[in-house]
Amino acid sequence: MSARYLIRLDDACDTMRRDNWSRVEEVLQAHGVQPIAAVIPDNRDPSLQLEPPDPGFWDKVAGWVRKGWSVALHGHTHLMRPTDARLVLPFYSRSEFGGLPLSLQCEKIRAAWSIFGAHGVDPRIWVAPAHSFDLDTLRAVHLETPIRLISDGIACDTFRAHGFDWIPQQLWSFAERPFGLWTVCLHPNTMRAADIDALDRSLGGRYRGRVVGVADLPMRARRRSVRDRLFEIYFWRRWRRAARRRQ
């Protein structure tokens, strides 16, 4: 199997479930894995108010950078609002950014970027909360930051579009694939002890040596191929069927 995998950890913030994050970090370090950590700079999402604010949070983020983790700007406040805007990825009908005027999106991105800067952290990846953003969000990121890399999109490998390099994100748990690059998105805040143990077994077993970091990826000026588009059709059909079953 020639498939490679990348791990992304979502919803790092100063009120995250710290024991879970520490356990996941220990597992990744034991296997030499350098993930993407999607950091919310000014979390105001009540569902992520899991512990009292950690005064050492930004020191922890800086420590991840020193370990070679790739830190991503994960929105601004993570507060969602309903929207019927045309989103780049139609996962949900809610977004922190999609549907807002470009000027307001720029204001939010600028505020988020300044918080990272105040703590000496330089994110190089954009991760939209709930995968929900529109083309104006991309314009705002381009205008207000030097970020030119996005962790999202449905494809079989990295590609370039809208002035950004994209690392596709298509999985929420490990699954065998015959080829390509597959980002596994994990949420340490909601992982159970059994989930973390399963991650440890996966990294030490079937997927040993097959998990890469962002620094290992050559970015090419590649447009999405016919295979990518066929996979995208298949992906959205499965997603919609699953969504109907959840209703």
128-162 residue pLDDT tens:
999 999 999 999 999 999 999 999 999 999 999 99
- Two tokens, residue 225: 């191929």
Distance CA 64, CA 16 (A): 15
**What percentage of the chain carries pLDDT values higher than 70?**
99
| Among candidate residues 102, 98, 77, the one with its CA nearest the CA of residue 88 | 98
Question: 140 — alpha (psi -120 to 50), left (phi > 0) or beta?
Answer: alpha
Q: How do residues 79-111 score in pLDDT, each as one tens digit?
A: 999 999 999 999 999 999 999 999 999 999 999
Contact 150, 167 (CB under 8 A): yes
pLDDT at 29 over 80: yes
Q: What is the pTM of this model?
A: 0.96
Q: At residue 247, does pLDDT exceed 80?
A: no
Q: Which of 180-184, 200-204, 217-221 has the lowest mean pLDDT?
A: 217-221
- Per residue in 115-125, pLDDT (tens digit) is 999 999 999 99
Mean pLDDT computed over 59-65: 98
Give residue 243's pLDDT band: very low, low, confident or very high (50, 70, 90): confident
**Burial letters 93-112, b for 16+ CB under 10 A, else e:** ebbbbbbbeeeebbebbeeb
Query: Token pair 């710290």 is at which residue?
Result: 18
Specify the pLDDT at position 98. Answer: 97
At 34, is the secondary structure helix, strand, or coil?
Answer: coil
Classify residue 151 as left (phi > 0), alpha (psi -120 to 50) or beta: beta
- Tell whether the model's pLDDT for residue 23 goes beyond 60: yes
Asked whether residue 218 carries a pLDDT value surpassing 90, the answer given is no
Our CA angle for 61, 64, 65, nearest 5°, is: 95
Across the beta sheet with 164-167, what order do the strands follow? 159-161, 164-167, 149-151, 125-126, 70-73, 36-39, 4-12, 181-186
Q: Give rounded-to-5 percent helix, strand, coil for the chain.
A: 40, 15, 45
Above 90 in pLDDT, residue 246? no
Instruction: Determine the pLDDT at residue 35.
Output: 98
Under DSSP, is residue 202 helix (H, G, I), strand (E, B) or coil? helix
| pLDDT score of 230 | 96
Residue 113 pLDDT > 60: yes
Please report, rounded to a whole number, the percentage of residues in the chain having pLDDT higher than 90. Answer: 94
Q: What's the pLDDT score for residue 103?
A: 98
